[in-house]
């Protein structure tokens, strides 16, 4: 008659072996996770000594990703702004070409053609100034939800246009400068109902420049984009300027649109066209500078984006080193632990059958 030696051949041995099996099983589960998921553990608690490093890196990576997203969105807006500015410069150049054709001896018919051209260009300009990137008006500055031009469809019959037309109708051979000054005054008027621009943008040109949108791409924000009524920061304005190149273009278009019925025989006409075209060419130079300014901003953002990509790569690598498992080592460990576990269960089975007779 045989007597079985405790459970599995002895209580002490049983406890030790059972604990070893549990430990091997846990290690196998961890290594199986590492092989399939590629990380050291399901949670940071199981990462070990590198846990704090991994935890601290995650918010940094998230922050950098946020800055990268801001730059991407801003670059989209700037690209659309650049296209619109190219169009606006083209409109100004078309007006200058039209004025050149009626400088000197010109019939009322020839002038009428340029007048109609100016009316069409004015409508196109108003539409261009209300260009959107998604739901954002790119020339609106900080408040991108408000259209820069309040009523683009009727800009040709606005209070500003009416006031300028009145000044042009009073043209004489001796008051050309006064007519242009009156047009500048009308274009500079920021009063509600008179300005063709939104209330936010009906401010001085220097104030408008401070209303540029901001993009956060580091611990500080940077001003970007253009505001419809802002000044030019790179070149001088003409003597009859409002301070804002785009306002000046609007004014010039309205002046030309008011010249219906005139010819080179009209007193003051030749002087008006000559001075207007000279002023317009200065405005074209300023608008071109504004267009270039957008390109400079795009270049700066591209440089910043490249730097952030490098930072993101560095942080991601550090996180990978702190959190990720060596897939090859984990796979090898899984096989080794599987062998150990099988051996342990075999030993358990053998101990179950062990009796006192086995020792005799």
Q: Which of 223, 228, 234 is nearest to 286 (CA)?
A: 234
Q: What is the mean pLDDT of residues 72-82?
A: 96
Q: In this structure, are 254 and 226 located in the same domain?
A: yes
Give the model confidence (pLDDT) of 21-67 as tens digits: 566 566 555 656 555 555 545 555 555 555 566 677 778 889 989 99
pLDDT for 114-144, tens place per residue?
999 999 999 999 999 999 999 999 999 999 9
Residue 165 belongs to a domain:
yes
pLDDT at position 139: 98
Indicate if 90 and 189 belong to the same structural domain.
yes
CATH number of the domain enclosing 123? 1.20.1330.10
Q: Are residues 190 and 123 in the same domain?
A: yes
Dump pLDDT digits (tens) for 174-211. 999 999 999 999 999 999 999 999 999 999 999 999 99
Residue 252, domain member (yes or no): yes
Q: Are residues 134 and 270 in the same domain?
A: yes
Whether 73 is in a domain gets the answer: yes
Task: Verify that 289 and 333 share a domain, yes or no.
Answer: no
Q: Is 321 part of a structural domain of the chain? A: no
Global confidence as pTM? 0.77
Question: Considering its fold, how many domains does the chain have in total?
Answer: 2
Same domain, 298 and 210: yes
Query: Using CA atoms, how far apart are residues 136 and 33, in angstroms rounded to an integer?
Result: 46
Whether the CB-CB separation of 212 and 227 falls below 8 Å is answered with yes
Range of the domain at 226: 66-315
180/308 same-domain check: yes
Name the pairing type of β-strands 221-224 and 136-137.
Answer: unpaired
What whole-number distance in Å separates Cα of residue 265 and Cα of residue 257? 18
């Amino acid at each position: 008659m045989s007597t079985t030696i405790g459970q599995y051949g002895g209580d002490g041995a049983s406890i030790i072996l059972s604990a070893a099996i549990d430990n091997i099983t846990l290690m196998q589960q961890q290594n199986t996770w590492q092989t399939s998921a590629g990380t050291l553990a399901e949670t940071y608690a199981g990462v070990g000594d590198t846990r704090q490093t991994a935890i601290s890196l995650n918010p940094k990576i998230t922050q950098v990703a946020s800055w990268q997203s801001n730059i991407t969105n801003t670059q989209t807006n700037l690209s659309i702004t650049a296209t619109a500015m190219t169009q606006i410069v083209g409109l100004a150049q078309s007006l200058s070409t039209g004025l050149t054709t009626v400088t000197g001896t010109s019939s009322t018919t020839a002038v009428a053609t340029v007048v109609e051209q100016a009316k069409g260009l004015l409508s196109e300009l108003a539409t261009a100034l209300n260009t959107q990137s998604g739901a954002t008006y790119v020339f609106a500055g900080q408040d991108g939800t408000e259209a820069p031009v309040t009523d683009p469809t009727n800009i040709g019959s606005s209070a500003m246009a009416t006031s300028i037309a009145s000044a042009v109708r009073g043209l004489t051979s001796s008051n050309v400068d006064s007519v242009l000054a009156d047009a500048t005054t009308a274009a500079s008027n920021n009063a509600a109902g008179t300005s063709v621009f939104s209330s936010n943008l009906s401010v001085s040109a220097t104030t408008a420049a401070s209303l540029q949108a901001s993009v956060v791409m580091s611990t500080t924000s940077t001003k970007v984009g253009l505001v419809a009524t802002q000044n030019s920061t790179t070149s001088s304005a003409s003597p009859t300027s409002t301070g804002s190149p785009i306002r000046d273009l609007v004014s010039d278009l309205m002046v030309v649109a008011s010249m219906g019925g005139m010819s080179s025989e009209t007193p003051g006409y030749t002087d008006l066209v000559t001075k207007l075209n000279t002023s317009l060419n200065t405005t074209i130079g300023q608008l071109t500078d504004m267009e270039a300014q957008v390109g400079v901003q795009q270049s700066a953002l591209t440089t910043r984006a490249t730097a952030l990509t490098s930072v993101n790569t560095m942080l991601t690598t550090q996180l990978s080193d702190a959190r990720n498992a060596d897939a090859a080592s984990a796979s090898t460990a899984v096989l080794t632990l599987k062998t150990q576990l099988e051996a342990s269960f075999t030993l358990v089975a053998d101990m179950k059958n062990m009796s006192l007779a086995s020792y005799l």
